[in-house]
A and B are shown apart, each in its own frame.
Chain A
Amino acid sequence: MMKETKNYPKANLQDYGYKDRTRVNKYFKRFSIGLSVVVVLMMYLSVVTIAFQSVNSSTDISSFEGFTLKWYFNMFSNRSLKNAIVNTITVSVIATLLATVLGTLVAVGINAIEKKKRQHIMILNNIPVLNADIVTGISLMLIFSMLLPLFPYLFGPATLILAHLFFTMPYVVLSVLPKLRETDKFLMDAALDLGIRPYRALYKVIVPAIKAGIFSGMLLAFTMSIDDFVISYYNTGNGFDNLSIWIYGSIGRRSLTPSVYAFSTMVTLFTVLSLIGYQYLKTRRVKNEKH
Chain B
Amino acid sequence: MNNKAFRLLAKPYFVWLYVLALVPVFVMLFLSFVKSEGISFDEMTVSLESFLLIKERSTLVAFRNSLLFALSTTVISMVIGYFVAYRVFKSKFNNKFLVLTILILPMWSNLLLRTEALGNIMEYNNIYTDLLSKAGINAGISIRGTSLAVLIGLVFTYLPFMILPIYTALEKISVRLEEASLDLGLTEFQTFWKVTFPLSLKGLISGSIMVFLPTLSGFAIPQILGKGNIILIGNVIEESFKNMNYNFGSLLAVIILFFIIGALLIINKVDKDGETLL
Contacts and interface: CB of A to CB of B under 8 A. Distances in A.
Given A40-B102, A109-B8, A49 B120 contact: yes
A68 to B, nearest CB: 14
B100 to A, nearest CB: 10
Interface in A194-250: 198-199, 202, 206, 220, 223, 227, 229-230, 234, 243-244, 247-248
Residue of B10, B17, B84, B260 with most partner-chain A CB within 10 A? B10
A175 interface: yes
A183 interface: yes
Nearest to B91: A33
B241 A267 contact: no
24 contacts: A21-B187, A32-B87, A45-B156, A46-B117, A46-B156, A47-B117, A50-B109, A61-B126, A61-B127, A64-B127, A113-B7, A131-B257, A132-B213, A132-B216, A134-B218, A135-B257, A138-B28, A139-B21, A139-B27, A175-B278, A229-B112, A229-B220, A251-B116, A267-B109
A2 interface: no
B88 interface: yes
A129 interface: yes
A282 to B, nearest CB: 9
Given A43-B159, A143-B24, A188 B127 contact: no
B131 interface: yes
B237 interface: yes
A156 interface: no
A49 B2 contact: no
A175 B109 CA distance: 23
Interface of B: 1-14, 16-25, 27-28, 31, 38-39, 80, 83-84, 86-88, 97, 101-118, 120-121, 123, 125-127, 130-131, 134, 156, 159-160, 187-189, 209, 213-214, 216-220, 224, 234, 237-238, 241, 246, 249-250, 253, 256-257, 260, 263-264, 267-268, 273-274, 277-278
Given A134-B238, A251-B116, A36 B84 contact: yes
Nearest to A279: B97
A62 B124 CA distance: 9
Interface stretch (A71-79, A89-97, A268-276): A268-276
Residue of B6, B88, B111, B115 with most partner-chain A CB within 10 A? B6
A108 B120 contact: no
B216 to A, nearest CB: 7
A44 B256 CA distance: 31
B39 A145 contact: yes
B187 A264 contact: no
Given A106-B13, A132-B217, 8 more contacts: A50-B114, A123-B268, A130-B267, A133-B218, A134-B234, A135-B257, A138-B28, A169-B13
Given A35-B80, A49-B118, A134-B238, A268 B105 contact: yes
A109 B113 contact: no
A72 to B, nearest CB: 16
Give the interface size class of chain A: 35 or more
Given A49-B127, A128-B21, A135 B256 contact: yes
A42 interface: yes
A234 B11 CA distance: 28
Nearest to A268: B109
B83 A121 contact: no
A39 B83 CA distance: 10
B223 to A, nearest CB: 9
Contact of B28 (A33, A139, A202, A220): A139
A63 B101 contact: no
A35 B13 CA distance: 45
A95 B219 CA distance: 25
Residue of B39, B127, B250 with most partner-chain A CB within 10 A? B127
A155 interface: no
Nearest to A139: B24
Nearest to A48: B117
A52 B131 CA distance: 12
A174 interface: yes
Nearest to B85: A36
Contacts of A178: 273
Contacts of A21: 187-189
Contacts of A206: 1
